[in-house]
Homo-oligomer: A and B are copies of this chain.
Amino acid sequence: MSVQERKERERAERERLILATARELAEQQGWDAVTTRRLAERIEYSQPVLYSHFRGKREIIGAVALEGAAELAAAVRAATRAANGPRERVAALARAYLDFAARNPAVYDAMFQLDGGLAFAQEDTPEPLKDAFAALLESLGEVAGEGIDPGLFTEVFWASLHGVATLVRAGRQPPEYAEQRVELLVDRLAIV
């Protein structure tokens, strides 16, 4: 039985290697550079090995996206935990979100820009995605204001953050004004 366990361990280890390599390559040279050939060469296996772990490139992107969702949720929770009061919590959340998008552009792309074959906002939505939304809802729900559904509010606030992240990423504006944008969003949208 121990032999089989070792094999499973090695297999899981190799899967992590694939994802880490794909992510590293994507952050270095963009997702276009993440081809199955290059990826296979970097992990020192042949191409078909990739397909014994994932259905295809799309699923690799999706797996990286799920990793990213978990990290984003953790970053948001860490930031909000360290803040005092609803207003500061929301501001900290916004900063943490935009910071994550800026520091991990390829992962953020995998989550929202590329097709990772992930189902959003449905029954079969993967747990990390639901949890990332939950992390946002925890702090945003309390500032939705009277008569506004917390879920709807979270969606809109999130959308705003996503839009800002996207436009900044596209080099639309120097990052100097990031803090002002956050302040504006928080001041106007959140009801404290």
- Which A residues are within 8 Å of any B CB, using their own CB? 112-113, 120-121, 148, 152-153, 155-156, 158-164, 166-167, 170-173, 177, 180-181, 184-185, 188-189
Q: How many copies does the complex hold?
A: 2
Q: Which B-chain residue is minimally distant from A167 (CB atoms)?
A: B159
Decide: A152 near B172, CB < 8 A? Known: A159-B167, A166-B112, A188-B189. no
Contacts of A173 in B (CB 8 A): 121, 155
Contacts of A172 in B (CB 8 A): 120-121, 155
Contacts of A153 in B (CB 8 A): 184
Q: Which B-chain residue is minimally distant from A166 (CB atoms)?
A: B162
Contacts of A112 in B (CB 8 A): 166, 170
Contacts of A188 in B (CB 8 A): 188-189
Contacts of A121 in B (CB 8 A): 171-173
CB distance from A11 to the nearest CB of B (A): 32
Q: Which B-chain residue is minimally distant from A153 (CB atoms)?
A: B184
With most chain B CB atoms within 10 A of its CB, the pick from A112, A120, A167, A188 is A188
With most chain B CB atoms within 10 A of its CB, the pick from A156, A164, A166, A171 is A156
CB distance from A124 to the nearest CB of B (A): 12
Contacts of A185 in B (CB 8 A): 156, 160
Q: Which B-chain residue is minimally distant from A118 (CB atoms)?
A: B170
Q: Which B-chain residue is minimally distant from A162 (CB atoms)?
A: B163
Contacts of A184 in B (CB 8 A): 148, 152-153, 156
